[in-house]
Structure 1
Amino acid sequence: MKLERVELLHVSIPLITPFRTSFGTMTKKDTFLLHAVTDEAEGWAEFAADPQPLYCSEFVAGAEIVIRDFLLPRITALPELTTATVTPALTSVKGHELAKAALETALLDAELRAYGMPLAAYLGSIRDRVPAGVSVGIKNSVPELLDDIERYLAEGYIRIKLKVEPGWDVEPVRAVRERFGYELPLQVDANTAYTLADAQHLRRLDDFGLLLIEEPLEENNLRAHAELQKLLATPVCLDESIHSARDAASAIALDACRVVNVKPARVGGYLEARRVHDVVTAHGLPVWCGGMLETGIGRAPNLALAALPGFTLPGDTSASNRYFAEDITEPFVLQDGHLSVPSAPGIGVDPLPDALAHFTIGTRELHAIRK
């Protein structure tokens, strides 16, 4: 496979409603797509982070520079371009997992399309649909939160995740349990908003039968999470702290978590995400697939990953209309609390030309072979 062209399409898609977490409020999905054209097929991928380095250290403008000036030159220098050769070629560039994931996914998509193979089959997925959970942001009031959850449950979502932060944690959780009962699968996500000094306060959440509490403390602090897990009955789930299968193994060895959230972009792509899955399941722990408010280009491969056998908890792979009135692909629609795994070659979806044109605010060529 020979790489002929790579272009970056900067897209901006408004969210149906603002999405607030402990690190900020989003009103639109502002990111870029990578379009890789080879001599055999074309591939697409979505950069998962945001314009500002608030959720993670990577951001849109920085990732463009990294891909253009450091990653692509290493790819174009390869005598043979396959997914198997891409990842080793990028290891000399430290960090920048989300940028690497975007490039690797676009090339993997092209390679699998050339072979006529769906990503789900390539990864070893075993299901043709996956259960869908929904992430509910921080609200202005508890009644507003309860109304939103009631609507999501009516739509068919089978698991609720609440974003929490100091001052918005115990009371919202209590209200949800009182309104919807203890049979509702419920978990919370702190996005690193607490410190170990908050341990006694977080212990109050043990009364509500939560599936897990996600990344309560600062990221990459496995020791602090291990200390917190000793004090909590609620399983600690790590998200931002897991950048690789090695990180997952270390966290499990330290008992810093008892559940792992795999975000493919955060670990460098779908091949490493599969390795994280394998490590976690080998230790008998549950794993689930997180989300980063992806468009259909990012949502489709997440569904393929979430169909692996170890993904036993519903993920954040919500339907398209959870976030967007109009997506850039054919929308993913919730049916009986599940979403279908794409079965077409590669990631299984393509951008809709009219929607792509409507939401694209800039296009730049990162690489091209002049003929």
Structure 2
Amino acid sequence: MPRVRELEMFRLVLPYGRRPESILVRLTDYGGMTGWGEVVDPDPKTWASLEEGLAHALIGVDWEHPDELGAVPGGPAADMACWDLWARMRGVPLSHALGGSRTSLMATVRIGAERNLESLVARVNRHVCAGYAHITLDVHPGWDIEPLRAVRQAYPALGIGVDARGAYTDVGALEALDAYTLSSIERPFAGLADHADLQERVAAPVLLEVSSLAELDEAILVGAGRALLLRPAVLGSLREVRRVHDRALAAGWEIACAGGQGTGLARAATVAAASLPGCGLPCDVAEPPRSAQIVTPPVGASGGVVAVPLTQPGLGHTVDVARVRRLAKESYAA
């Protein structure tokens, strides 16, 4: 039975890109076992919420399973740490603890708009040569048919999805993309209104992102798509991830998993979730920059494939605690 003796929190500013922030939570039980969690780009109130409520909710409290804890203060970081601790205590990988069965995952790599078609095809070529069998192209009005045609002509057998990021208002403009044998059309509109119309017109599954089980139920009811973009960080807890996954699977929807950047911990949880039986679409867990990784082995794809850790319990990665302390701009212990 897990019983947390000590908790630590670390606020990190990561050394890449726009320097995103992560909050890490480390739980230690009375036997010295530890569990880790991470939230990437947290709400500004998250740190205060964790400081005020997490120690009271967890330290010295007996619990048999993370599902018993309900809504842990601070959201996904604390929830992930509880699951990691629970799985480590039982000597099982987090993927198995969640009900996953996959040992490896096909990865996709996201490719944004380029300056010209030649640059785009050259960038796709680098990823194909690195072993990727699937890419996801960012599209928007004015940058869709031509780049898609160029990539398809260069790589007739390549798996291609498109991500519209809610940029479209015209169903007809997206219908034209279906001629290029797409694996999915992701997030085409800002709301649900036009999704069902588009799904009736195209062969590719419309891939929707939801933030709750209720939102998924509404999408299924109106036929707004045939595929789910599952983001563990958005859903708040791994219990909710399983519930949403199970509902989509029961409805016959395909599922793709995606995770945030961060230090590697959040992506490790995404990999565990992507091992669930319904997650057959290529997953987005591209490796964060090595300058930010605090886990060994690094989380990411090799040859376009992501291995699901099965030889170590919990998240399946060793955390470099000394590096965490060096990167932390603020810490807290209780």
TM-score (norm 2): 0.88
Establish whether residue 30 from structure 1 lines up as the match of residue 21 from structure 2: yes
Q: 1:315 to 1:260 in 2, by over 3 A?
A: same
Question: Quick one: distance in 2 between partners of 1:179 and 1:185?
Answer: 12
Establish whether residue 262 from structure 1 lines up as the match of residue 262 from structure 2: no
Tell me the CA shift for residue 64 of structure 1.
Answer: 1.7
Partners of 1:9 and 1:362 within 8 A in 2? yes
Aligned AA (1:150): N
SS in 1 for 2:5: strand
1:348 corresponds to which residue? 316
Q: 1:243 to 1:77 in 2, by over 3 A?
A: farther
SS in 2 for 1:223: coil
Unmatched tracts of structure 1, length 5 or more: 16-25, 51-58, 94-98
Establish whether residue 310 from structure 1 lines up as the match of residue 302 from structure 2: no
Of 35, 59, 69 in structure 2, the residue corresponding to residue 43 of structure 1 is 35
1:300 corresponds to which residue? 268
Matched positions, count: 330
Tell me the CA shift for residue 81 of structure 1.
Answer: 7.0
Establish whether residue 2 from structure 1 lines up as the match of residue 3 from structure 2: yes
Aligned AA (1:43): G
SS in 2 for 1:125: coil
2:249 corresponds to which residue? 281
Of 149, 154, 160 in structure 2, the residue corresponding to residue 179 of structure 1 is 154
2:103 corresponds to which residue? 128
Aligned residues with identical type, % of pairs: 31
Aligned AA (1:84): D
Partners of 2:233 and 2:259 within 8 A in 1? no
SS in 1 for 2:50: helix
1:211 corresponds to which residue? 183
1:161 corresponds to which residue? 136
Higher alpha-carbon deviation: 127-136 or 62-71: 62-71
List per-residue Cα deviations over 1:48-83 (Å, max 9, x = no partner).
3x2xxxxxxxx4422223333356544569664741
Matches within 5 A, 1:67-146: 67-69=50-52, 73-75=56-58, 80=63, 82-87=65-70, 89-90=71-72, 99-146=74-121
List per-residue Cα deviations over 1:270-326 (Å, max 9, x = no partner).
221122221111122211111222432122222122112211111112245xx4456
Question: Quick one: distance in 2 between partners of 1:14 and 1:166?
Answer: 33
Question: Quick one: distance in 1 between partners of 2:138 and 2:54?
Answer: 34
Question: Quick one: distance in 2 between partners of 1:6 and 1:260?
Answer: 34
Partners of 1:328 and 1:356 within 8 A in 2? yes
Q: 1:148 to 1:357 in 2, by over 3 A?
A: farther
Question: Quick one: distance in 1 between partners of 2:259 and 2:63?
Answer: 33
2:295 corresponds to which residue? 329
Unmatched tracts of structure 2, length 5 or more: none
Computed over aligned residues only, the root mean square deviation of the Cα atoms, in angstroms, reads: 2.5
Tell me the CA shift for residue 333 of structure 1.
Answer: 5.5
Q: 1:208 to 1:338 in 2, by over 3 A?
A: same
Following TM superposition, the consecutive aligned residue runs of length 4 or more in structure 1 with deviations greater than 6 angstroms are none
